[in-house]
Structure 1
Amino acid sequence: MRKAVLLLIPLATFALSACDWGIKLDDRARNVRTAWNGDVGSCKEQGKVSVSVTSRVGPVDRSDLKVRDELEVLARNEAAKLGADTVKPLGEPNNGSQDWGAYTCGTRALGQQGVNNPPPPPPQNTTPQGGFETVPLKN
């Protein structure tokens, strides 16, 4: 019995870590931005997308941050299929599902951070607030 329990622990860990396999940002979706501030007033609505991911594995809740990240990736992928360049969350995630609005804003609404204009580099020699600094893991 003791050997069976020792074998189940690595298998359970592997199963929980493998939940996001296959959820990748499509090439077309790389140009879709997320309007976290909700500013889509000058944009044309393209439609609504509903996306969902697994939020629980058995009795274990998955990381809220990971679930939210995967929902955003899926929303951007779906918006790209509609020809939209911007997504906006229409509500909070609920049991691994979330509705998003898809919009076409163009570079006018994107300002300096348009599709063909990468964001400006961060200022050098600045002290992060609270002593913490966040950096992107991938470009």
Structure 2
Amino acid sequence: MRKTLLLVPVVLLSACTWGITLDDAGKAVRTAWNGDVSQCQDLGKVTVSVMDHVGPIDRNDIKVRDELEVMARNEAAKMNADTIKPLAEPADGSQPWGAYRCGSAGAPAGNTPASAASAPQTVPAAGFQTYPIKSH
């Protein structure tokens, strides 16, 4: 019985990240960290939220921010947006994001590494080509 009681908090804490994954449609949505969306069409606002604490224990801030971005990208894809931009810092596990349609020509600089993977690659004179190991 005592071992079961010790495992309950561990299971509850690990359950916080289950189910928050980037959808296939969300993978096509970039994040404009530099905030330049002047050439884009504004499609609206998305506000997402996750648990930022479990009971008295605060969750890792980086993990919370990552989950908020993943959820915002998934929701923006449902609006046919291809770019999101944070409108404010996260507060109490919630964060507003702007959803935009920039198209391939108006894609803002400073996007996530996933956009770099779709950029045209050049083959060096040595005859080899490099590719990103992981796109996020």
- Offset of residue 7 of structure 1: 3.6
Number of the residue aligned with 2:50 = 53
Instruction: Give the match's secondary structure for 1:45.
Output: strand
Aligned-partner residue type, residue 118 of structure 1: S
Structure 2 stretches of 5 or more lacking a match? 122-131
Runs ≥4 residues deviating over 3 A? 111-117, 135-139
Shift of 1:39: 1.1
Aligned amino acid, residue 47 of structure 1: G
Quote the Cα distance in structure 2 between the aligned partners of 1:78 and 1:120. 28
Distance of 2:86 and 2:108 partners within structure 1: 20
Higher relative helix content? 1
1:17-71: CA deviation from partner (whole Å, max 9, x where unpaired): 1101111111111100000110101100000001000111000001101110110
State whether residues 32 and 108 of structure 2, in contact with CA within 8 Å, keep that contact through their aligned partners in structure 1.
no
Distance in 1 separating the partners of 2:67 and 2:34 = 19
Q: Which has the higher contact order (CA 8 A, sep 6+)?
A: 2
Alignment length, in residue pairs?
A: 123
Aligned residues with identical type, % of pairs: 54
Q: 1:67 aligns with which of 61, 64, 69?
A: 64
Match of 1:108 among 105, 108, 111: 105
1:110 Cα offset (Å): 2.5
1:19 counterpart SS class: helix
